[in-house]
Homo-oligomer: A and B are copies of this chain.
Amino acid sequence: MKYRIGIDLGGTNIAVGLVDEAYRFLAKESVKTEAWQGFDHVTDNMAKLCKKLMDGTGLCPAQIDCIGVGSPGAADKRTGEIVFAGNLNWSHVPLTDTLARKTGIGRVFLGNDADCAALGEFVMGAGRDFDSLGMITIGTGVGGGIVLENKLFAPAGTVAPELGHTTLIYKGESCTCGRKGCLEAYASFTALIRDANRAADAHPESALALLRAKGEKLNGKNIFQAAKQDDPIASQLVACFLDYIAQGATNIAIAFGVPLIVIGGGISKEGDYVAGQIEDIVKKEMFGGPQYAPKIRMATLGNDAGILGAAALADYQ
């Protein structure tokens, strides 16, 4: 049996899973990242979680084939360094070497978190019956990952594919990356909430303004809820948001030719009707006609995608 550990390193939490060779979970744990305590502390936490999972399942380091880590920011898979990760405040830290030393497990693989989520959905989730896919993760930002012919597409020494930072509107809204008009500046929940607040300002009669008047902060959940209850302003806002996502999906399909695009992040809980709406738009927008349009599916693994994809890094390089 070939056991593996997958680690999803986030700005807030570290989630770790121990899986067998069929990527079934034997155990899973998470702790707070506490990034402000520094690299040594965070990697100690990661190593402790690995040990806890091994202890709980009665396995020793020699029985673990490898560890895979999905990290935010830019990860260099050749050197095993995290080149930079803004939300961890790290630059040029030797992650794989450190983790190998602290766990006693020699083979440690490193990838970008959005890439790992795409790989997880490819191996065990919405994309398991495809040989290529694109994934867009809609959260605070917009992440993207690509699998091409059973390999994760993540060229060494580059930031690609950072699909959330390709252009949707030239000279549009400012993006966190410094560029203007990125997909992330329109199709993230951060952007949806910004747009919803603007709409509430402009339409004091809307359900969104009433929510705010009751002291609620607007968020993805209550904005989608208001749209489902047919508030015209919220409905228009959500339709526009789905259109942004669909345009991003179309661009990915036109560039990469993938037959499936998986939509992940909080929006995946909204259900298949959202995937259907996005798919209808992509069919209309696709270059060459609807026969070239990819299928659109919601992610099925939630937060496990990142762990499973990290555990799978060794097999899909």
Q: Per a CB cutoff under 8 Å, which of B132, B155, B163, B167 touches A132?
A: B155
| Chain B proximity of A256: nearest CB distance (Å) | 6
Judging by beta carbons under 8 Å apart, are A167 and B255 in contact? no
Contact, CB under 8 Å: A168 / B165: no
Contact present for B287 and A257 (CB under 8 Å): no
Q: Is the CB of A254 within 8 A of B166?
A: yes
Contact of A155 among B83, B155, B257 (CB under 8 A): B257
CB distance from A173 to the nearest CB of B (A): 11
Question: In the complex, are the beta carbons of A257 and B132 less than 8 A apart?
Answer: no
Q: Which of A269-291 contact B (CB under 8 A)?
A: 285, 287-288
Q: Return the chain B residue nearest A288 by Cβ.
A: B159
Q: Which residue of B lies closest to A243 (CB)?
A: B170
The 13 sampled A-B contact pairs (Cβ below 8 Å) are A74-B292, A83-B288, A158-B259, A159-B254, A159-B288, A160-B254, A161-B257, A162-B288, A166-B255, A167-B251, A168-B170, A179-B250, A252-B255
Task: Show the binding face of A for B, using Cβ within 8 Å.
Answer: 74, 83-84, 132, 148, 155, 157-163, 165-170, 172, 177, 179, 186, 244, 247, 250-259, 285, 287-288, 292
